[in-house]
Structure 1
């Protein structure tokens, strides 16, 4: 162990009233499931364990200080939550990670604090981190550093689930299934309590997916209702009931989603056809002449992502988003409407460095490859929402940048909100009317002044205007002394 300082690791453990961010992320990504066991390795005071048990998950915890009595037992999912960053010895960090990996039957979920939190950690430099006045230690990780460490120790490809959260899988098919869920939407099935309603659910699936489902990919209650119906009869009923236009549109959407998934899978390491989730296998068979043809088309799509001219043309052709001289900005609600190569751009960045939990606007540079997720928490309620945080990844180096504007008195803000949305977004017309009123009032005559709060407020005063929600009104004349 470097140096001779006494480090009090136990003091970094905190009491939790809600699940930690990594545990929430694992739940969202279905890495913690009702039928799985969970071990929180280095659980501190055991907050996540208690909360998971309250949610009826089979969770246990082990900690060398707070819960040292029983040896940790193997579990389907093992969480190592903010443990590695409090260990001052790099060798011990790797040993801890290795022991946790040995205990994981299915998935290891590793999370650490990141370098952008340096401002929250005060103390003296020690080894490769900081010792605080409470004698606790913090090594703040780079996003890529954490991913590389987990991959080196486990020897498997990892997925960055969120900034500072990495998954390592025992079975590569589980990694591929996660990628598929993030890209190809899971089927939504209409509620069914009779054969007639079950057939309607299959028709709905066929219109949205562009193909009829197989019995084995249906929910159990639905397959039981339809199990006695001959396959040929079900096919006939669906063909008679389904809207051909919707089926055709569903097939086009499924084709693009499948290409997107296969391209992301190549970016992250492609497996055999048999390792794909069953619905994706069926999509491939429905939309392509062969798996080889689908892979070739996906490979070409990934190559196009490296072509600056092609990416810029895709941004110009996009029916959604605001294009500036350097980047395309798109609201979260409109991202799925982007051209497929631009959706691939965002997914590759997210898989490499993690997509943040909270974000509102996606930023894609067309000069170089850098993706950013910008958080405007009040986008819908504030006529000119203020930027709270931004997180970006430079895709060639995988270097990440995080900026917080929460404490700033002059935050960047947005104008022309409708330009970030799809033209048919329910709120676009309201935002467009406000923009037109602001243009008429002269508020955009000096665009170099209005990019931040103070400049925008000064222009509102200059033009004699106030905002009432998403309406622009005249500012009342000031009452001069002696004129009352």
Structure 2
């Protein structure tokens, strides 16, 4: 193999951890890449006298005729395994360079191990969980400092976490009496040291100083120090580290990674209920998540496990955590992130939060890019205050209206420089920019009608007053509350009009980048395209979701045009397999307000999803290889024309007749025997 051929094969790799100059791949994944490159890799290792036991990761150079064979002895046992040795073969100069890291005090380490293996690997899901933990903790924000073991461990510690059995835990959750108190200067604590639930509060605007915060089970108090440094009214209590601290009611109460370390279920329930009673507006609950295969590594104890540090951990599944919260508090738990839920006591806050979730966000053109022929006095002022004007305009686009004084941080500056916000808005909204604003205004009106229509369908108790932000939205965009209610009621009633549902489905099919329409019977989409549907279909599906619950596990949504039904399909490994198997189908009967569940796990021949490329677009990283797989499959089995087709066993028989077998995204020839 020459250099050009080598570089071409490397450039075509779809697996592996990709960096600008190299691609890393675990040896177990070599069977899924081009045979020519795989055989060449083993051939060079043999020619370079690199024993199999001395490498398990290969490093392909994208711009050089080189390979490196790396040995991570604890690749599967250590969450962040250290490099023990490397052998680099330069194929141009036919030289080999070896490096021994076995005695290095600070060796290089690996992250994001799921990228090194094929999605079919049994450890793939565990690796994803590890990476998500690191991302939630903010550990990957500066990739330049995480490549070596000491700097990685130091970053973990500085961020308020600790490694226990390879998993990241908040130090505050490790209720160990011999743990030394960590004193940090308030201003020296970086934002990434905040716990994941506190980060979520910051993201949603709850840590702007407007709300008081109480940390129930604050541990060593790292979050308290950071919030105090920002001038936030915050207090905390912990049974081990701050047992004498007073317990206060507050607008926001956080019970972060507490319920998972309480071994007694009744005490766990009591802690959750007590924290909820303290919350004036919202309770934030978080707990550790893990897969069954990971949990099985530990010694069972009660409904959890005992870790190597002799601490108790109750790992949850996402749905299990939600069910525990809702059964305990008898309130709706809103999923914010994996392992993090909000429960609102203040229903106005809940109303504002949910309405904001219906908003769609788009990238808009920069104001400074608009051509200007002459500079008026206002334009000069705008040029001198570009950053302020840009922020103001973006808020106008987000709201679809002029912001009030408390909705824009620099409002006083706007008035001081330009005289009034309306004056500045009129200048910014001139010319081409007005199209952006009219579009954002239309989108905001659409979002609000969807929100109020779903509120009507859910028969929520009428509120005596709207949240301030919603009041302004209604007045600016609809004039009166009666008007928006009338529009929402009309939109809700329209979902029973079969012809309008059909027209909307047809419009969606023509405009969406991916969907499947079955004549006048149904429209099937990936759940990721839900917000791009026309208003009537967003309400139609939203009503169904209110009857069912969160769409966390749902892959596809099927809108039945004639029968007033919505089907939700859950597939096993939808994003990993070219032929994901149907696990569960949920049929929601809107007219009866009833939900039927159909489980396809036991006693059924697994039904594959065919031609998945019709339901995804180029925003999915595997789109191209799915397209290629689907074209090849249709050539081999011409009878496959739609999403449904032969069962899994029948498919294997049909492929075998063609002398082929499917593995991952590739087809292999069956070796004939005898």
Is 1:318 the equivalent of 2:318? Answer: no
Q: Is the 8 A contact 1:76 1:105 kept in 2?
A: yes
- SS of the equivalent of 1:249 reads helix
- SS of the equivalent of 1:318 reads helix
Query: Relative to 1, partners in 2 of residues 1:440 and 1:295: Cα closer, same or farther, differing over 3 Å?
Result: same
Report the Cα distance in structure 2 between the residues aligned to 1:172 and 1:393, rounded to whole angstroms: 30
Q: Is the 8 A contact 1:363 1:374 kept in 2?
A: no
Report the Cα distance in structure 1 between the residues aligned to 2:487 and 2:462, rounded to whole angstroms: 16
State the 1:338 CA deviation: 1.2
Report the Cα distance in structure 1 between the residues aligned to 2:223 and 2:583, rounded to whole angstroms: 28
1:179 maps to 354
State the 1:184 CA deviation: 1.8
Q: Is the 8 A contact 1:144 1:399 kept in 2?
A: no
Q: Is the 8 A contact 1:318 1:338 kept in 2?
A: yes
Q: 1:150 aligns with which of 321, 324, 329?
A: 329
- SS of the equivalent of 1:334 reads helix
State the 1:221 CA deviation: 4.1
Report the Cα distance in structure 2 between the residues aligned to 1:391 and 1:111, rounded to whole angstroms: 29
Is 1:76 the equivalent of 2:227? Answer: no
State the 1:420 CA deviation: 1.8
Q: 1:275 aligns with which of 466, 477, 494?
A: 466
2:614 maps to 419
- SS of the equivalent of 1:220 reads coil
Query: Relative to 1, partners in 2 of residues 1:22 and 1:235: Cα closer, same or farther, differing over 3 Å?
Result: closer
State the 1:234 CA deviation: 2.5
State the 1:178 CA deviation: 0.6
Q: Over residues 117-146 of structure 1, what are the superposed CA-to-partner deviations in whole Å (9 max), with x where a residue is unaligned? A: 9xx89xxxxxxxx87898x999x9796785
Query: Relative to 1, partners in 2 of residues 1:32 and 1:252: Cα closer, same or farther, differing over 3 Å?
Result: closer
Report the Cα distance in structure 1 between the residues aligned to 2:467 and 2:391, rounded to whole angstroms: 24
2:632 maps to 438
2:382 maps to 195
State the 1:179 CA deviation: 0.8
Report the Cα distance in structure 2 between the residues aligned to 1:412 and 1:51, rounded to whole angstroms: 48
1:33 maps to 207
- SS of the equivalent of 2:417 reads coil
Query: Relative to 1, partners in 2 of residues 1:33 and 1:442: Cα closer, same or farther, differing over 3 Å?
Result: same
Q: Is the 8 A contact 1:195 1:225 kept in 2?
A: no
Is 1:102 the equivalent of 2:281? Answer: no
Report the Cα distance in structure 1 between the residues aligned to 2:390 and 2:313, rounded to whole angstroms: 59
Q: Is the 8 A contact 2:517 2:524 kept in 1?
A: yes
2:82 maps to none
Q: In the TM superposition, what are the counterparts of 1:454-465 in structure 2 within 5 Å?
A: 456=651, 459-464=654-659
Structure with the greater relative contact order (CA < 8 A, sep ≥ 6): 1 or 2? Answer: 1
1:3 maps to none
Report the Cα distance in structure 2 between the residues aligned to 1:191 and 1:385, rounded to whole angstroms: 46
Report the Cα distance in structure 1 between the residues aligned to 2:226 and 2:425, rounded to whole angstroms: 45
Report the Cα distance in structure 2 between the residues aligned to 1:31 and 1:388, rounded to whole angstroms: 39
Q: In the TM superposition, what are the counterparts of 1:396-411 in structure 2 within 5 Å?
A: 396=593
Report the Cα distance in structure 2 between the residues aligned to 1:310 and 1:363, rounded to whole angstroms: 19
Larger Rg: 2
- SS of the equivalent of 1:213 reads coil
Q: Is the 8 A contact 2:401 2:473 kept in 1?
A: no
Q: TM-score, normalised by structure 2?
A: 0.49
Q: 2:424 aligns with which of 216, 222, 234?
A: 234
Query: Relative to 1, partners in 2 of residues 1:32 and 1:444: Cα closer, same or farther, differing over 3 Å?
Result: farther
State the 1:292 CA deviation: 0.9
Q: TM-score, normalised by structure 1?
A: 0.64
- SS of the equivalent of 2:334 reads strand
- SS of the equivalent of 2:550 reads coil
Report the Cα distance in structure 2 between the residues aligned to 1:149 and 1:182, rounded to whole angstroms: 25
State the 1:296 CA deviation: 1.1
Report the Cα distance in structure 1 between the residues aligned to 2:415 and 2:620, rounded to whole angstroms: 38
Q: 1:216 aligns with which of 405, 416, 424?
A: 405
Report the Cα distance in structure 2 between the residues aligned to 1:69 and 1:365, rounded to whole angstroms: 57
State the 1:175 CA deviation: 1.1
State the 1:250 CA deviation: 3.2
Report the Cα distance in structure 1 between the residues aligned to 2:222 and 2:547, rounded to whole angstroms: 32
Q: 2:449 aligns with which of 234, 238, 259?
A: 259
Report the Cα distance in structure 2 between the residues aligned to 1:346 and 1:29, rounded to whole angstroms: 27
Q: Over residues 427-478 of structure 1, what are the superposed CA-to-partner deviations in whole Å (9 max), with x where a residue is unaligned? A: 89847853772365132526776554x65555444435678997x7x75584
- TM-align CA RMSD: 5.8
Report the Cα distance in structure 1 between the residues aligned to 2:635 and 2:358, rounded to whole angstroms: 44
Q: 1:290 aligns with which of 480, 486, 496?
A: 480
Report the Cα distance in structure 2 between the residues aligned to 1:93 and 1:383, rounded to whole angstroms: 39
Q: Over residues 237-292 of structure 1, what are the superposed CA-to-partner deviations in whole Å (9 max), with x where a residue is unaligned? A: 234333455444333322211201222333363655962342x4444334334321
Q: Is the 8 A contact 2:558 2:567 kept in 1?
A: yes
Structure 2 stretches lacking a partner, 5+ long? 1-162, 174-194, 297-301, 307-311, 369-379
Aligned residues: 438
1:9 maps to none
Is 1:17 the equivalent of 2:130? Answer: no
Query: Relative to 1, partners in 2 of residues 1:456 and 1:62: Cα closer, same or farther, differing over 3 Å?
Result: farther
